[in-house]
Amino acid sequence: MKRSYDDADLMAALQQPDAYPHLAPAVQVVETHISHVFLAGDYAYKVRKAVRFDYGDFSTAHRRLPQRSSALPSAQARMSRRRLEAIPRLEMR
């Protein structure tokens, strides 16, 4: 899937440690089928990819906004289970 120019700029910016308001000595990027997860110091930032699946359509920026009442989190966790093991467990704030 082709990303828009703005998505490429965002991905490049979030890989820079000085992009964050807290100490982030290094940034590690973990990619799942639906998201890019940026591990920056003690925090993790998730950015959904512009993709479309049977259980979720994130093909536009508007559709990638968080949805409060959705079955997506459990479906996404099931689909990402193998890759989630690569992400250290962090305290959610």
Per-residue model confidence as pLDDT tens digits over 7-19: 788 899 999 999 9
Q: Is 73 inside a domain boundary?
A: yes
Kindly report, residue by residue over 30-80, the tens digit of the pLDDT: 998 888 999 999 999 988 888 888 887 888 877 777 665 455 556 655 655
> Which residue range is the domain that position 19 belongs to?
5-84
Q: Is 89 inside a domain boundary?
A: no
Is the Cβ–Cβ distance between 64 and 50 less than 8 Å? Answer: yes
Q: Is 93 inside a domain boundary?
A: no
pTM to 2 decimal places: 0.62
Residue 29 pLDDT more than 90?
Answer: yes
67 is written with which tokens? 């949805």
Residue 89 pLDDT more than 70?
Answer: no
Q: Is 92 inside a domain boundary?
A: no
Q: Is 91 inside a domain boundary?
A: no
Question: Which residues does residue 29 pair with via DSSP β-bridges, in sequence order?
Answer: 38
Between CA 34 and CA 85 the distance in angstroms is 15
Q: Is 50 inside a domain boundary?
A: yes
**What domain count does the chain have?**
1
| Residue 71 pLDDT | 52
Residue owning tokens 């990638």: 64
Q: Is 78 inside a domain boundary?
A: yes
| Residue 77 pLDDT | 59
